[in-house]
Amino acid sequence: MAYNTSKKVVIVGGSLGGLFTGIVFGAGIAFYLMIPPIQEAMKNLGTSGAPIVDFLEQYDGTKTPTLTADGIQYLNKDGSIKFTTGGDGITAQVASWDLLYNILRANFDGGHEAGYVAAPPEMEGDGVANYVSDVRVTDLTEVDELVEVGYESVDGRKGALQADIVIGADGPSSTVRKLLLPEVERTYVGYVTWRGTVKESLLSDETRTLLGTKSCIAFTRGSQVVCYKIPGLKGSLVPGDLFANLVWYQNHDQAELKRILTDSDDVSHKYSLKIGKIDPKVKEEQGKVAAAIFPPQLAEVWQKIESPFIQAITDSLTTKSVFMNEKVFLVGDAVATLRPHTSAGTSQAAMNALFLKKVFDKEGGMSIEEREKTTVGWATFAKKLGVQMGNLSQFGDHPMADNGELSSKM
């Protein structure tokens, strides 16, 4: 299909996947966004192995700097270093979710009210970009050569938009996927991530030195903790302003999941709890567990995180990503929910957007059939690898684990 600047595109989902896709379609198209061994495999699909870097090199007019990291340190329980990788001139770029979102919004529609990344200069041929929040999709219907997207706003107002192309970029619980493939389910896999950040200036000299420019990882049976630095507030890269970002994978059965996802107002949630909503008793319990099983430097980071949040780890995988006579496409987490161990979820979204550009650009050189085979095939591979990594980390005997006599169970 040739690229056509007269097309209107509706992108359902206003997070990173939706913004990646919106930017690559950005010339002469109106948009409405509705909110509600990985690297080698990527290289085999025609990317550098780092699709986010590829994307930003092509489409980021802001040229916003990010943080550089250069390896991994595996820690023993006493805080000593068991094993180190990297450091041979191989580096990676690290951005917080907030910084990447602001970079993409600046490129898509000039940013938002709370944005801090300046928009790049407008270019000849730029299209009209509308970012619409507080609405949810209710139905999709083919109307002649178009797709009609029905929606409802938070105040109950109903409406519809007609588009040449609809993109489902609405995450693991994708409404677009549910409307088209209701049999594809999102399933809990038996463990969660506890996440949080703390300003590095609040940490001891020992902990700041250990973190350095590397990720630190520690395993015990049924638990994995990862900690690394990310840009600070408003993308600051100034030493002292950086955040230590901690991600803690811990096993919880269904009963425990229900308990920890019941917030401080006694409201139950299905997959996540936002910052500031964890029951204080649950937070206190987790503090005791962290003190018992973490290396002391990472235990310090956890104890100084004021408002952690929780995300249940889930699996989902679509069997197809193109619908309604090649007018509706899924991207990112709507295609597959990848385990965080792979560090590939955001990369998947960027890669899917780049492939769509190849399909709709008249010189792109990729057919819809090739895009479908590549998108679903790669997602299937990455999901399988993530399951293997998660099973080893959470339910097996990881070779880097320092189990001692302690259990990560509460």
**3-state per-residue secondary structure call for 239-287:** CCCCEEEEEEEEECCHHHHHHHCECCCCCECCCEECCCCCCHHHHHHHH
Task: Identify the three-state secondary structure at position 52.
Answer: helix
What pTM was estimated for this model as a whole?
0.90
Strand segments, DSSP code E, in 5-125 are 9-12, 31-34, 67-69, 71-75, 81-86, 92-94
> What six digits make up the tokens of 274?
């936002």
Task: Identify the three-state secondary structure at position 227.
Answer: strand
Per-position b or e across 140-177, b if 16+ CB within 10 A of its CB: beeeeebbbbebeeeeeeeeebebebbbbbbbbbbbbb
Place of tokens 């049976």: 221
Residue 17: CB partners within 8 Å, gap ≥ 6? Answer: 169, 171, 331, 332, 333, 334, 349, 352, 353
Phi-psi region of 83 (alpha: psi -120 to 50; beta: other; left: phi over 0): beta
**What's the pLDDT score for residue 127?**
75
Q: Report angle CA 308, 13, 6 to the nearest 5 degrees.
A: 155
Separation between Cα atoms, residue 351 and residue 54, nearest integer Å: 9
Q: How far is CA 290 from CA 87, 206, 268, 284, 293, in A?
A: 29, 18, 24, 10, 5
CB atoms within 10 A of CB 249: 22
Residue 55: CB partners within 8 Å, gap ≥ 6? Answer: 20, 24, 350, 353, 354
Q: Which helix (H) or strand (E) holds 134?
A: none
Separation between Cα atoms, residue 311 and residue 261, nearest integer Å: 9
Pick the closest to residue 137 from 98, 99, 177, 104 (CA basis). Answer: 177
Domains and CATH numbers, the chain: 9-60+120-184+318-390 (3.50.50.60), 71-83+188-314 (3.30.9.60)
User: Digits of tens for pLDDT over the chain (410 positions)?
Assistant: 233 345 789 999 989 999 999 998 875 455 666 554 444 544 444 444 588 989 999 999 999 999 998 889 999 999 999 999 876 767 788 999 999 999 999 999 888 878 899 999 887 767 788 888 888 999 999 999 999 999 998 899 999 999 999 999 999 999 999 999 999 999 999 999 999 999 999 999 999 999 999 999 999 989 999 999 999 999 999 999 999 999 999 999 999 999 999 999 999 999 999 888 999 999 999 999 999 999 999 999 999 999 999 999 999 999 999 999 999 999 999 999 999 999 899 999 999 999 999 998 877 789 999 999 999 999 999 999 999 999 999 998 888 887 654 333 33
Separation between Cα atoms, residue 218 and residue 400, nearest integer Å: 8
For residue 5, with 0-12 CB atoms within 10 Å meaning exposed, 13-18 middle and 19 or more buried, which class applies?
exposed
